[in-house]
Amino acid sequence: MSQIAINESVEIEPDAELPSATTVALVQLALACGGFGIGTGEFAIMGLLPNVAETFSVTTPQAGYVISAYALGVVIGAPVIAVLAAKMARRTLLLTLMLVFAAGNILSAVAPTFETFTLLRFVSGLPHGAYFGVAALVAASMVPVHRRARAVGRVMLGLTVATLLGTPATTLFGQSLDWQVAFLTVGVVGLLTVALIWFYVPKDRVSEEASFLRELGAFRRPQVWLTLGIAAVGYGGMFAMFSYIASTTTEVAMLPETAVPIMLVLFGVGMNAGNFIGSWLADKSLLGSIGGSLVYNIVVLTTFSLTAANPYMLGLSVFLVGCGFAAGPALQTRLMDVAADAQTLAAASNHSAFNIANALGAWLGGLVIAWGYGFAATGYVGAALSFLGLFVFAASLRLERRSASFEAL
């Protein structure tokens, strides 16, 4: 099965046949289900912070520490798990990651203290990056090379659909019934994913050459660092804007609070559209789609700042910024190309990079607001980050061309 060469540390059984379209679709559905659960669990807490604060008798800002704990789990868990699990079969690793994720969320729902709840959110975040990285590799290995990005995009569709449907629905149920219900629901989705992976993801075996040192080799490759840098810097702008969208809606566009969910839906629709279009474009031109998306982000984030006071333009800009998620499948696929035989670590670290982008964007956006430039100025912050990302992208292109010239000699 030649497509599996995308990661030489995994071998398919010798008598394995090429997967049928139905098999591929079922595998992608199983993997996307996990993405849906992870995305819902990550974002639902943002709408439930007041409820959590009331339960544990802490302030809402203090309750916000659980979001940071989850993000820290993602950043730490992705590279550590990828290295430690180098000798583990992909299917087994996916099952283990989902079991940990499900257990973390179910136990979060019954946490007796705020400290315990915070710790469990950290544990729930540990599988996040490794799951998406391994799932992307599995999905890409089952299709022809020219369709890899679309396969990755279908796995990430679970995450984008979560922002559109899973998070609002879970938040609504959590507010109407009890916030613990939200985490129980996410835990059940995790268990459902375990069942789907068990039944539909084919067994694989690990090659004898696989090792944690081999995976660590990914960080000896400059192109891996540059690609992660593009994600961490260039795409922080989306989070700079999105972190303060509620206040921008009510204080800049002067819309009622009831308009905030509409903006969130528009952002979710944009993410889904971007994921679909971006994965298609990445299969046509991988580097072109990454560079083009950075330029695109500069334009739409600047437009956001210039027109945020107009309710209709705000809605349009929020949708267009959400479309910037088009770079997600492209960057994930790029890491597969530049990581050589250490793809698990590189692919998993992509989500650590995006969480760094999240923290960086929110922090810089908050600084600009604190300096008195207003909520609309977060778009300018985002545009500046995308502009810096272009320099990292240019460095990556230059290094690649120099390497190609050297090899031609």
The set of residues, in sequence order, having a beta carbon less than 8 Å from that of 293 and lying 6+ positions away, is 278, 324, 326, 327, 330
Q: What percent of the chain has pLDDT over 70?
A: 88
Asked if residues 156 and 328 have their Cβ atoms less than 8 Å apart, the reply is yes
**Confidence (pLDDT) at 207:** 61
**Confidence class for position 18, pLDDT limits 50, 70, 90:** low
Q: How deeply is 95 buried, as exposed, middle or buried, from its count of CB atoms within 10 A (0-12, 13-18, 19+)? A: middle
Average pLDDT over residues 269-279: 88
Q: What is the pLDDT of residues 35-79, one digit of tens each?
A: 999 988 887 776 677 788 888 888 766 777 787 788 888 888 888
What 3-state DSSP class applies to 205?
Answer: strand
Tell me the C-alpha distance between 380 and 377, whole Å: 5
What 3-state DSSP class applies to 11?
Answer: strand
Is 80 exceeded by the pLDDT of residue 212?
A: no
Tabulate helix, strand, coil % of the chain (nearest 5): 85, 0, 15
Residue in the block written with tokens 């396969």: 151
Q: What is the pLDDT of residues 181-203, one digit of tens each?
A: 889 989 999 999 999 999 998 88
Q: Which residue has the higher pLDDT, 177 or 388?
A: 388
Helices 114-141, 148-161: inter-axial angle, 10-degree rounding: 150
Is 90 exceeded by the pLDDT of residue 375?
A: no
Residue 20, number of CB atoms within 10 A of its CB: 9
CATH code for the domain defined by 211-408: 1.20.1250.20
**Confidence (pLDDT) at 400:** 84
**Confidence class for position 15, pLDDT limits 50, 70, 90:** very low
**What is the value of pTM for the model shown?**
0.77
**Confidence class for position 206, pLDDT limits 50, 70, 90:** low
**Confidence class for position 237, pLDDT limits 50, 70, 90:** confident
**Confidence (pLDDT) at 298:** 95
Q: Which residue has the higher pLDDT, 295 or 325?
A: 295
104-118, 229-243, 335-349: least confidently modelled range: 335-349
Which residues belong to CATH 1.20.1250.20 in the chain? 19-208, 211-408
**Confidence class for position 6, pLDDT limits 50, 70, 90:** very low
Q: Which residue has the higher pLDDT, 318 or 7?
A: 318
**Confidence (pLDDT) at 294:** 93
Helices 378-408, 286-307: inter-axial angle, 10-degree rounding: 160
- Extract the tokens encoding 7: 């990661």
Q: What is the pLDDT of residues 94-144, one digit of tens each?
A: 999 999 999 999 999 999 999 999 999 999 999 988 898 888 888 888 888
CATH topology of domain 19-208: Growth Hormone; Chain: A; (1.20.1250)
Average pLDDT over residues 375-379: 90
